Amino acid sequence: MTHAANLGFPRIGAKRELKKTMESYWKNEISRSELEQVGLELRRRHWHQQREAGIGIIPSNDFSFYDQVLDMTATLGAIPERFGPADGDIDLDIYFAMARGTPEAPAMEMTKWFDTNYHYIVPEFTKGQHFRLASNKALDEFNEAKKIGLTTRPVLPGPVTWLSLGKAKEPDLDPLDLLEDVLSVYAELLGKLKDAGAEWVQIDEPVLVLDLSDKQKEAFRTAMRALSVSGPKIMLATYFGKLGDNLSLATSLPVDGLHVDLVRAPEQLDDVIARIADRHLSLGLVDGRNVWRSDLDTCLEQAERAVKAIGADRVEIAPSCSLLHVPVDLDQEKTLDDELKSWLAFARQKLGEVAGLAKALNEGGEAVAAEFVASANANRARKASPRIHNPAIAERLSRVSPSALNRQSPYAERRARQAQIFKLPAFPTTTIGSFPQTKEVRQARAANRRGDMDDQSYGAFLKAQTKGCIAYQEEAGLDVLVHGEFERNDMVEYFGEQLEGFTFTRQGWVQSYGSRCVKPPIIFGDVTRPSPMTVGWSQYAQSLTSKPVKGMLTGPVTILNWSFVRNDLPRSETCRQIALAIRDEVQDLEAAGIAMIQIDEAALREGLPLRQDDRPAYLDWAVGAFRLAASGVRDETQIHTHMCYSEFNDIMPAIAAMDADVISIETSRSDMELLDAFAEFEYPNEIGPGVWDIHSPRVPDAAGMEDLLKKASRVIPADRIWVNPDCGLKTRGWPEVKSSIAHLVTAAQAMRRAASAAW
Ligand SMILES: CN1c2c(nc(N)[nH]c2=O)NC[C@@H]1CNc1ccc(C(=O)N[C@@H](CCC(=O)N[C@@H](CCC(=O)N[C@@H](CCC(=O)O)C(=O)O)C(=O)O)C(=O)O)cc1
Ligand SMILES: N[C@@H](CCS)C(=O)O
Ligand SMILES: [Zn+2]
């Protein structure tokens, strides 16, 4: 019999219960046991829902109070020294301190999980680091599920992925050198799981879809040999891409099963079948990264090929990856129109598809005929729907000339003209765009949406917020101001709501990091901009001050990468459509007198293909889309961009090719290390390296920021450096913001004094 399996369920809760409870705990409003109780209820609810959906192989330990990689770090006792003694207990408070930092100890670094909008906490390694089984979370959750009659398949991030994603804190340490010690803890944990009754474990090794070094390949052989000795059977899970040249490695490892992603890489099925030998094969057929209903007939045809080749008993049907990356339940959406809704599937609906496919294999097509027909009809209707095509857009795009991707003059000329106009001091200070999205702001928006606050009152409220923010920035002594983004629920969703071809959900939350969630808009059709989206707010803010106020836009690549994108058109085409809409907005801002315009491309790197070979083509169209959006303005208009991630080395030429006049980047958590890439590449334009880690509630002092700026000015010419935080301030509270900005301005002034003394 073929089993229906799941690799991971979204843990935040259909109504973001976990988020709300965690945030209450952090504010000391509830006790730890109340927090733990909500965790338990969510796990139970999700197990029940999976069972009800017809899933036979249900995961445990996919729940997390912050992040599954941090859970593994805690399990292995890999606590950085600043959070307590290496052999001390790891309780929830130390765990949260590692994730969020404390006044004394900066948080551990956080970065993007492969090519998703999910962030994990980066493990830290030192020489001679001692590992020990420091948490029984995986075991406890397995036992918890057993109490409700479920023998789950516990999930663990695998040792090679965990080490590969971590960071050595000493220059000549290779994390993989720690493998042996780490493996002994994994083996101990697997032994305990087996003793508790676990028949299988899911070991997640998504690095198997990356370009691997010989040392990583060898680490896989060592690791799987060690783990296969005495624990439960291993389902080795790979996802987010093709195994490619790692296929023979993956199929030579002593594991009992292999999960492959057949949504991203359907072409690998026959090769995998040919090499699977006597292992179980888990077919990732239902898209765990997007919200479209599956083409069940095609999925069934793929599954039948596997069953025919290796027998039903060794085949599992599954989503392509954990369902962490999609919203929980489409049935909660009461305002989406029926036609659009019929095209979609969220986590619970996807599990229904997985179970339906397994049933079709086990009982024959008649057993699920109605479901399959409904699905095929919906997909057919989607293809034929007049709502998805707008011929005028294709026609306009075909008329875009190559010159539309170039500014009028080279950067050096623009720089001179802009310097004359803006007359900024050395080390100009600015922020990235958003100011605190306080409870008051969110509640006003929620009241307006419910109809409890009329549009006029809501507009007046937002104007007052903006006015207060401009006054505050002037008082704080910032040089380049922003309007504060109070009118925006999210930097992508806000634009999605105003563009044609997009739809949005009410409850389609997806975890981004910790308690923070996003509601990615859904791009279902050709994109157009019916009217200006931001001009009124920028114009209003600029009318309040004589200092420049940056117009604030989200770039086309980021809108694309942070949305659920239609799967019936190449992503590059959809991106060009969005770029044209943003270009129109940029030109309208300029015409309205906005002299600096920031186009955020926070997610440009996130969309970078995981394999080197696929990268040039992506970078080519992504940079082209940015340039199309940004280049329709005069030389005097200063274009900024912003990116909040900390790996630039491999895409420096592309970043330079974007040709933004100023780029602000996240650097503070990595101690300015990544500026080396800008220095080595001799990045020609201006740079604002973040000097304040805004992901942590910690207030950085002026001396620390000054140190970071000094480090920056050792590698970047001082007259090209801007002073700003790592990212927007929407998640912070006003008191921390005010203290931190006062320190930031002080640090910039100190740098100016030192520079004028030296000149
Ligand atoms: C910069 N980042 C972003 C990413 N992706 C995006 N799509 N957007 C981003 O900004 N990826 C990388 C990083 C990740 N960082 C963050 C940072 C902050 C958040 C965040 O704050 N998320 C909020 C939700 C934001 C939002 O949509 N708010 C809405 C709805 C607010 C709400 O919950 N309203 C309540 C009522 C109000 C109340 O009582 O308080 C309700 O409707 O029930 C809004 O402002 O209108 C979060 O809450 O997690 C995300 C990613
Ligand atoms: N302008 C946005 C960028 C976040 S990446 C903000 O400030 O929140
Ligand atoms: Zn950012």
Q: What is the pLDDT of residue 485?
A: 98
Q: What is the pLDDT of residue 697?
A: 82
3-state secondary structure of 525: strand
Percent helix, strand and coil across the chain, each rounded to 5? 50, 15, 40
- What integer is the mean pLDDT of 228-254? 97
Q: Which long-range contacts (CB under 8 A, 24 or more apart) does 590-593 make?
A: 590/633, 590/634, 590/637, 592/535, 592/538, 592/539, 593/539, 593/542
What is the percent of the chain where pLDDT is above 90?
A: 93
Residue 171 identity? P
* Ligand 2 atom with the shortest distance to the CA of 598: 1
- CATH number of the domain at 57-217, please? 3.20.20.210
- What integer is the mean pLDDT of 582-598? 98
Radius of gyration of the chain measured on its C-alpha atoms: 26
Least confident of 97-106, 133-142, 469-478: 97-106
Q: What is the pLDDT of residue 681?
A: 82
375 is in an annotated binding site: no
**Largest Cα span, the chain:** 84
515 is in an annotated binding site: no
Q: b/e map of 713-749 (b: 16 or more CB within 10 Å)?
A: bebbebebbbbbbbbbbbbbeeebbbebbebbbbbbb
433 is in an annotated binding site: yes
Q: Report the catalytic residues.
A: 695
**Could you read off the pLDDT of 386-407 as tens digits, one per residue?**
999 999 999 999 999 999 999 9
User: Is there an atom of ligand 1 within 6 Å of 563 CB?
Assistant: no
3-state secondary structure of 10: coil
CB atoms within 10 A of CB 612: 11
399 Cβ contact partners less than 8 Å away, ≥ 6 residues apart: none
**Could you read off the pLDDT of 615-651 as tens digits, one per residue?**
999 999 999 999 999 999 999 999 999 998 767 778 9
- pLDDT band of 69, cuts 50, 70, 90: very high
Q: What is the pLDDT of residue 602?
A: 95
Q: Could you tell me which of 307, 410, 398, 350 has the C-alpha nearest to residue 659?
A: 410
CB atoms within 10 A of CB 630: 28
Substitution candidate for ligand 1 out of 512, 557, 730 with most atoms within 8 A of CB: 512
Q: What is the pLDDT of residue 646?
A: 66
Give the pairing of strands 167-168 and 124-125: parallel
Q: What is the pLDDT of residue 698?
A: 86
Least confident of 337-351, 360-374, 553-567, 684-698: 684-698
Q: What is the pLDDT of residue 181?
A: 96
Q: Is the pLDDT of residue 86 over 80?
A: no
Q: Is the pLDDT of residue 741 over 70?
A: yes
Give the pairing of strands 59-60 and 153-157: parallel
- ipTM value of the model? 0.97
d(CA 95, CA 35): 14
Q: What is the pLDDT of residue 676?
A: 83
- What integer is the mean pLDDT of 528-552? 98
The CATH 3.20.20.210 portion of the chain extends over: 57-217, 415-490+532-758
- pLDDT band of 759, cuts 50, 70, 90: low
Substitution candidate for ligand 2 out of 730, 731, 732, 737 with most atoms within 8 A of CB: 730
Nearest protein Cα to ligand 2, atom 4: 728
What is the percent of the chain where pLDDT is above 70?
A: 99
User: Is there an atom of ligand 1 within 6 Å of 443 CB?
Assistant: yes
The architecture that CATH gives domain 415-490+532-758 is Alpha-Beta Barrel (3.20)
Q: Is the pLDDT of residue 600 over 70?
A: yes
